[in-house]
C-alpha cells in the first residue's frame, strides 16, 4: 500500500467514526437501532463499501456494534470491559505505568469523594462499610486485602454517581487492582504501616458519612500521601535488610 493510499484509508476510517460519533451524540442513533444497508450507509458517509465493511468489523469487535445474522447490524450498548482491556494493553507498554496511573487515580477519586459526600445513598455507605470491614479483617493477606482496598476505593467512585468518573476508573481498574495488591505485598509485614493505612481508610469513610467534602478530600489526599511515604520507607528498609 502506498503512503497516499494509507492516508486516504485513515481519512476514510475517520469519516466513518465521525459519522457514528456525531449521530450517537445528537440522538439520531440509539442503542438498539439498526444501521441502514451497507450500500446506503457507504453513500451517506461518502466512503467505499470495502473500507466501510472493515471499520464496521472493527467497531463490532470493540462491542460498539452488534451483527445479527440475516437481520443486520445494530448499535450496541458499549461494553466497558473492552475499554478496560484496551487501556490495560496500551498503558502496560509504558515504562513506570503504575506511577502514572496513580496520578490519574488521585484526580478521579478526589473529585469523586467530593460528589459522594452529597450523593451517596444508604446502599453506597453500606458498600463502603462492608469493604472497610473486609479490609480491616485482611490486613495480613496481601492478595485478599489488596483487592478489598481496591474495592473500597472503587466504592467511593461509585458513590459519586458520576458516569464519566466511573467509566474512567473502570478503564483503569485492572492496573489499579494490581497496584493495590503490589503495594500491600510491599508493606503488609510492617504493623506500623498497616495500622496507619487502616486508620486512614476509616477516616476517609467517616468523612463521607459526615458529608463534609473539604474534609473528605483532605483525608483522601493525606491517605495517598501517607501511603506513598510509608511505601518508600518500606522499600528502603527492605533494601537495607538485603544489603546489610
How would you write the pLDDT of the chain (244 residues) with one tens digit per residue? Answer: 454 444 445 678 888 989 988 998 898 989 999 999 999 999 999 999 999 999 998 888 877 888 888 888 999 887 666 666 666 666 666 666 667 778 889 999 999 999 999 999 999 999 999 999 999 999 888 889 889 999 999 999 999 999 999 988 988 888 888 877 877 777 656 666 667 788 899 999 999 999 999 999 999 998 888 756 655 665 555 556 666 5
Residue 168, pLDDT score:
87
H helices present in 34-141, as ranges: 38-45, 49-61, 80-91, 97-119, 122-137
- Residue 122 sits in the same domain as residue 8: no
Which cell numbers in the block locate residue 37? 444497508
Which cell numbers in the block locate residue 179? 497496584
Residue 239, pLDDT score:
52
- Residue 110 sits in the same domain as residue 67: no
**Distance separating alpha carbons of residues 15 and 114, to the nearest angstrom:** 39
Can you give the pTM of this predicted structure? Answer: 0.69
Task: Answer with the one of 52, 75, 98 that is the final residue of a domain.
Answer: 75
Q: Which domain holds residue 62?
A: 3-75
CATH code for the domain of 199: 1.20.120.530
Task: Answer with the one of 57, 75, 93 that is the final residue of a domain.
Answer: 75
- Residue 107 sits in the same domain as residue 154: yes
- Residue 69 sits in the same domain as residue 90: no
Cell 458520576, residue located: 162
Could you tell me the CA-to-CA distances from 183 to 33, 179, 193 in Å, in that order?
A: 45, 6, 11
Task: Answer with the one of 75, 100, 124 that is the final residue of a domain.
Answer: 75
Amino acid at each position: 500500500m502506498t503512503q497516499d493510499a494509507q492516508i486516504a484509508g485513515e481519512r476514510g476510517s475517520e469519516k466513518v467514526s465521525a459519522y457514528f460519533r456525531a449521530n450517537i451524540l445528537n440522538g439520531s442513533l440509539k442503542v438498539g437501532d439498526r444501521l441502514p444497508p451497507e450500500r446506503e450507509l457507504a453513500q451517506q458517509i461518502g466512503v467505499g463499501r470495502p473500507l466501510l465493511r472493515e471499520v464496521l468489523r472493527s467497531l463490532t469487535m470493540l462491542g460498539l456494534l452488534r451483527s445479527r445474522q440475516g437481520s443486520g447490524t445494530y448499535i450496541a450498548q458499549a461494553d466497558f470491559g473492552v475499554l478496560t482491556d484496551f487501556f490495560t494493553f496500551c498503558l502496560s507498554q509504558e515504562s513506570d505505568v503504575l506511577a502514572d496511573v496513580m496520578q490519574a487515580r488521585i484526580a478521579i477519586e478526589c473529585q469523586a469523594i467530593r460528589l459522594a459526600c452529597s450523593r451517596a445513598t444508604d446502599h453506597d455507605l453500606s458498600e463502603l462499610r462492608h469493604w472497610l470491614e473486609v479490609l480491616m479483617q485482611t490486613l495480613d493477606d496481601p492478595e485478599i486485602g489488596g483487592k478489598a482496598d481496591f474495592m473500597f476505593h472503587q466504592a467511593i467512585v461509585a458513590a459519586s454517581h458520576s458516569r464519566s468518573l466511573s467509566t474512567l476508573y473502570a478503564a483503569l481498574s485492572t492496573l489499579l487492582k494490581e497496584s493495590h495488591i503490589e503495594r500491600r505485598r510491599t508493606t503488609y509485614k510492617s504493623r506500623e504501616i498497616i495500622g496507619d493505612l487502616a486508620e486512614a481508610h476509616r477516616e476517609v469513610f467517616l468523612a463521607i458519612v459526615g458529608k463534609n467534602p473539604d474534609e473528605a478530600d483532605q483525608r483522601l489526599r493525606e491517605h495517598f500521601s501517607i501511603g506513598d511515604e510509608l511505601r518508600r520507607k518500606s522499600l528502603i528498609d527492605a533494601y537495607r535488610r538485603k544489603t546489610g
